[in-house]
Amino acid sequence: MARDSCLARVTAGVAVGGAVGGAVGAVYGTYEAIRNRVPGLLKVRYIGRTTVGSAAIFGLFLGAGSLIHCGKSY
């Protein structure tokens, strides 16, 4: 039972981290695309790459943090 709850916590951490990272990446990618004057449809690729990269990094770190805290009992 504790293992399932730990897996659920880590999964929730990855999901929340991915959502937050995706939102931050989309805003930052849009800002950078406009600031650097990326032409035409390349903006979509630039924003998408920034969004996915940021979501992956945030999800990884929040999932790792959830895994570390999973073993602690408060």
How confident is the model over 56-69, as pLDDT tens digits? 999 999 999 999 99
Give the model's pLDDT for residue 71.
75
pTM assigned to the model = 0.84
- How close are the terminal C-alpha atoms of the chain, in Å? 17
- pLDDT level of residue 70 (50, 70, 90 thresholds): confident
User: What distances in angstroms separate CA 66 from CA 52, 53, 73, one per listed residue?
Assistant: 21, 20, 13
How confident is the model over 5-28, as pLDDT tens digits? 889 999 999 999 999 999 999 999
Higher pLDDT, 64 or 2: 64
Q: How far apart are CA 32 and CA 34, in angstroms?
A: 5
Sequence-distant (≥ 6) Cβ neighbours of residue 36 within 8 angstroms: none
Average pLDDT over all residues of the chain = 91
